[in-house]
Amino acid sequence: MLAFIGRSVIQKIVTLFFVSVVSFAIIHIAPGEPSQVDPLNPKFTPEMVERFRQAFHLDRPLYVQYAFFYRDLLTGNTVSWKDNQPVLHKIGERFFNSLPLFIVGTLITWTVSFPVGIRSAIFRGGAYDRSATLLSYVLISIPGFFFAYMLIIFVVGQFQVPVIGMQTFGMTDTPWFFRLNDRLWHMLLPSMLGATGGIAVLSRYVRSQMLEVENQDYVRTARAKGLPWEMVHYKHALRNALLPFVTMFGLILPGLIGGSVIIESIFSWPGLGRMAYEAILARDYPVILTINFIAAVLVLIGTFVSDILYVIVDPRIRL
């Protein structure tokens, strides 16, 4: 076990290095300049463009820029080009805005998809299964932004309540209880929207996993020996069907960053995904690369955790 952990940590560090090189190269090869350098602005003389490029080290060879960037990142000194704010501080702030949305969304996704998927599998072919299937395909097919607009127009039109942002604008002198609920309300739509797509996909997975297990010999045996219905489905079948989801659980971590660009933009939610998107538009390399690096670290940690979890959950696997 220890040997496995050691090996896997080394492997992941090597992978991380390659990720850092490739992402750095891709961003610099992509055309475009930081938005501070605007060659079509008559007020920008070529000397000034050159001065900006020097200040951002853009005139140095790529490997020097790479060294500069990762030196700053590892010492925690990276600064955004857009507003000169420390990148880690910016990311930290946004992280705590995205986190509740992510937690609520994930909770809803996982807690809803399992019952729905399991029920579909148990009563496969029935009216419930078929309507659930239809609904999931509808939800998968509707583009997220369109669905979001429809929901906003519906809610604002019907109930005349604000839904945009993290809280109602200008609600500052109200008791904490109102404010808390106000925040919850603003979380409702975006997290539900984030969850619907997830539910549609995940419940399909659950259903097919369940179906596969339900056809196994040991389930038939369990049924044959006259075990109660719940026991057969929830103990013998479900436990085994759950195994592959352990892997998935590790992989939802990086969703924290990239999962919600569109929803965050539509709802003016000041989260991580939106910051990353705006940084890409402004070619704010330090922010893009830092987020990218953190995402890579999260993916690697996620896979690592799911490897370990797998060992714990599945007694057949020995390292």
Partner 1 sequence: MVPVGLSLILLQSYFWVPSYEEQSRGNAGRLEEFINASIGDASILNPILSADSASSEIENLIFEGLIDRDENLRFRGRVAESWTVSEEAYFFINTAQPAPGSGDGDVEALVAYLQTLRNQPASLPENLQGAFGNIREISLVPARTDTVRRQQPAAAGREAVDLTIRVTAPPRVKLTLRDVDPNLFAHLAEVLGPDYFSSFQPRRYVSVPAPIAQTELDLLAKDLLPAVEHNPVIEFRLRPDVKFHDGREVTAKDVKFTYDAIMDPKNLSPRVADYEPVKDIQIIDPHTVRIVYKRLHSPAVGTWAMGLLPEHLLNEDRLRQEALRTGRDPAAFSMRQSEFNRRPVGSGPFVFREWKSDQYITLDRFAEYWEGAPNYKRYIYRILPDLLTQEMEFYAGTIDAYGVQPYQVARLQQDPRFQNFSGTSYAYAYIGYNLRRPPFDDPRVRRALAMAIDVDRIIDFILYRQGERTTGPFLKQTEYYNHAIAPVSCDPEGALKLLAEAGWRRNADGRLEKGGQKLQFTLITNSGNDTRKSILAIAQDAWKQIGIDVRTDLVEWSVFIKERINKLDFDAVVLGWSMGIDPDLYQIWHSSQTGPHQLNFAGYRNPEADDLIIRIRQEYDLDRKVALCHRLHAIIAGDLPYTFLYVGKWTAVLDRRIVIRETDPGGKDRFRPIQPTRTGNYMFYFNQWTKLADAPQFHQ
109 exposure class (CB count in 10 Å sphere: 0-12, 13-18, 19+) = buried
Contacts of 1 (CB under 8 A, 6+ apart): 311, 319
Separation of alpha carbons 140 and 77, rounded Å: 42
Give the Cα separation of 57 and 285 in Å (integer).
11
Per-residue binding letters, 75-104, with partner 1 (x by CB under 8 A): ----x--xxxx----x--x----------x
- Residue whose CB is less far from partner 1, 83 or 217: 83
Q: Which is nearer to partner 1, 121 or 187 (CB)?
A: 187
At its nearest, how many Å lie between partner 1 and the CB of residue 16? 29
Binding mask 49-68 for partner 1 (x = CB under 8 A): --xx--x-------------
Chosen residue from 1, 3, 169, 226 binding partner 1 by CB under 8 A: 169
Please select the residue that binds partner 1; options are 96, 137, 178, 218, rule is CB under 8 A.
Answer: 178
Instruction: Tell the smallest beta-carbon distance from residue 184 to partner 1 (Å).
Output: 4
Placement of tokens 């705590």 in the chain: 96
Burial class (CB in 10 A: 0-12, 13-18, 19+), 87: buried
CB-based burial of residue 313 (10 Å sphere; 0-12 exposed, 13-18 middle, 19+ buried)? middle
* 233 sits near partner 1 (criterion: CB under 8 A): no
Beta carbon of residue 76, minimum distance to partner 1 (angstroms, whole number): 12
Query: Which residue number, 21 or 164, has a Cβ lying nearer to partner 1?
Result: 164
Q: What are the structure tokens assigned to 43, written together?
A: 């007020």
Tell me the number of residues near partner 1 by CB under 8 A: 64
- Please work out, in degrees rounded to the nearest 5, the angle formed at the alpha carbon of residue 196 by the alpha carbons of 192 and 198: 115
Site string for partner 1, 133-162 (x = CB under 8 A): ----------------x--xx--x--xxxx
Residue whose C-alpha is closest to residue 152's, from 274, 272, 265, 271 = 265
Identify which of 29, 126, 210, 50 has the alpha carbon closest to the alpha carbon of residue 219.
Answer: 210
Which member of 1, 2, 29, 46 binds partner 1 (CB under 8 A)? Answer: 46
**Rounded distance, CA 212 to CA 233, Å?**
12
Q: For binding to partner 1 (CB under 8 A), which residues are involved? A: 31-33, 35-36, 38-46, 48, 51-52, 55, 79, 82-85, 90, 93, 104, 107-108, 111-112, 115, 149, 152-153, 156, 159-162, 164-166, 168-171, 177-178, 181-182, 184-185, 187-188, 191-192, 265-268, 270, 274-275, 278
